[in-house]
Structure 1
Amino acid sequence: MQRRAPASYALLAPPAEPAEVEAAQKAMGLRFPTDLLESLACHNGITEWANLIPGQPPMSVAEILDHWKMCVEIAGDDPDLTEADEDGEPWWHPKWVPWAQSDGDSQVIDMREGPHHGRLGSAAHDDVGSFDDGWPSLAVYLTAVADALDHGGEVDGSTPYLTPEGELWWASPNQTELNGAPLTPAPRTDETAALP
């Protein structure tokens, strides 16, 4: 991204402060998974909204804590929000760690004990949580994103493109424009290996 979409790369925030990460975990009463800790040690979210990955943009530690607190407060003791529906998931669970969010819809990491510990799913603001189309972990998801950037391909039905300004943009396969401006497929590593 730094070489091929520098404007987008510049939106990645500096690493999170370890003390802030520890304080957030303490406030939430749970430990973040290793892959989220490693991600936050690289970039504490992004500095402004951008389409850097498929789906919602990653949040900073402060945003993770704020979104988690908001959802826990909204859910409260309401069984309609805290108990599983017929599909097996509640609207919100306090052991979900939101790591990416947009318009109230978030990607969450399931920190409940059991065989699905650490899986990645979604929590929509107007629906129950779902792990049906999720990922085994944040690391698996981010690896798929990196592979699509390096070698082409889709992640969650989106492929990487570049805007005329050289910004990264994820969109449906075969999309050719964004708001009337052309989109070009992001160059793959093997296509740019010879570039200086």
Structure 2
Amino acid sequence: MWRRVERWLARRAPVTFKRLRPPARPLDIARSEAAMGLRFPHDLRASLLRHDGGGSWGFGPAPFYELMSAKDIRSEWKMLCGDGNDLLDDWWNGHLIPFAYANDGGNLFVDTRTGKTGEFFNEEGLTLEGDVVWPSYLALLKATARSLETGRPIRGWRPKVVKGELEWESTRG
């Protein structure tokens, strides 16, 4: 899947392409998993082994997300879980793995129990239905690649390139 994204970015959005991070070291992934007491889903692990995040103001799914590195996933998870003794299931759960930052706060996450994605913002809590939910991290990455290649919107957002950088523009009036 990453090859499709990389090809598109290299041809159409070279600034964003250059920001992609190199692969994560397996040791960094293992350290994050150990610190979190979780195993990353296989599709997330494979993605990190290809690119350890999207880079600063780099690649991410629509509309305004940036993929996180293995280390950033661990530190964001720890922050969201607090001190580890006070997990508040109504707004955050230790089984959720944040994998993308929202540029205006919040995260996309994958639920290790179901494999589904969702969204989290402090003000709104967890979103487990609607546009941010995908059956898996891989399904989200595939849909993103398809949108890049075809120019067709992905849940109301169309890829647009401005000065060599990928942006997502709303198709909703």
* Shift in Å, 1:77: 2.2
**Bigger-Rg structure (1/2):** 1
1-structure distance, mates of 2:48, 2:99: 10
2-structure distance, mates of 1:174, 1:100: 23
Other-structure match for 1:190: none
Q: Deviations over 1:97-152 (max 9, x none)?
A: 0000134300010012xxxx100001112222121021110100110000001112
Contact 1:109 1:118 in 2 (8 A): yes
Please report the TM-score for the alignment, with normalisation by the length of structure 1.
0.76
> Do the aligned partners of residues 172 and 75 (structure 1) sit closer, same or farther apart at CA in structure 2, a change above 3 Å counting?
farther
Instruction: Output aligned runs, 1:29-44, within 5 Å.
Output: 29-44=37-52
Identity percentage of aligned residues: 34
Q: Does 1:155 align with 2:154?
A: yes
Which stretches in structure 2 are left out of the alignment for 5+ residues?
Answer: 1-8
Please report the TM-score for the alignment, with normalisation by the length of structure 2.
0.86
Other-structure match for 1:139: 138
Which stretches in structure 1 are left out of the alignment for 5+ residues?
Answer: 84-89, 176-196
Other-structure match for 1:109: 110
- The one-letter amino acid paired with 1:153 is R
- More relative contact order, 1 or 2 (CA 8 Å, 6+ apart): 2
> Do the aligned partners of residues 57 and 13 (structure 1) sit closer, same or farther apart at CA in structure 2, a change above 3 Å counting?
same
Out of 82, 104, 127, the residue aligned to residue 73 of structure 1 is 82
2-structure distance, mates of 1:75, 1:152: 43
1-structure distance, mates of 2:32, 2:47: 15
Out of 102, 109, 115, the residue aligned to residue 118 of structure 1 is 115
* Shift in Å, 1:167: 1.5
Runs of 4+ in 1 over 6 A off after TM superposition: none
Q: What is the total number of aligned residue pairs between the two structures?
A: 161
Out of 156, 168, 171, the residue aligned to residue 170 of structure 1 is 168
* Shift in Å, 1:76: 4.7
Q: Deviations over 1:21-49 (max 9, x none)?
A: 00100110010001101110111013311
Other-structure match for 1:50: 58
Contact 1:145 1:155 in 2 (8 A): yes
Instruction: Output aligned runs, 1:56-67, within 5 Å.
Output: 56-67=65-76
Q: Which moved more, 1:31-40 or 1:165-174?
A: 165-174
SS of aligned partner of 2:109: strand
Out of 17, 30, 35, the residue aligned to residue 9 of structure 1 is 17
Contact 1:51 1:169 in 2 (8 A): no
Q: Deviations over 1:131-190 (max 9, x none)?
A: 102111010011000000111211232100111x12111111289xxxxxxxxxxxxxxx
- The one-letter amino acid paired with 2:126 is G
> Do the aligned partners of residues 154 and 136 (structure 1) sit closer, same or farther apart at CA in structure 2, a change above 3 Å counting?
same
> Do the aligned partners of residues 33 and 51 (structure 1) sit closer, same or farther apart at CA in structure 2, a change above 3 Å counting?
closer
Other-structure match for 1:188: none
2-structure distance, mates of 1:42, 1:51: 13
Q: Deviations over 1:49-89 (max 9, x none)?
A: 136431321101111001000010178526xxx23xxxxxx
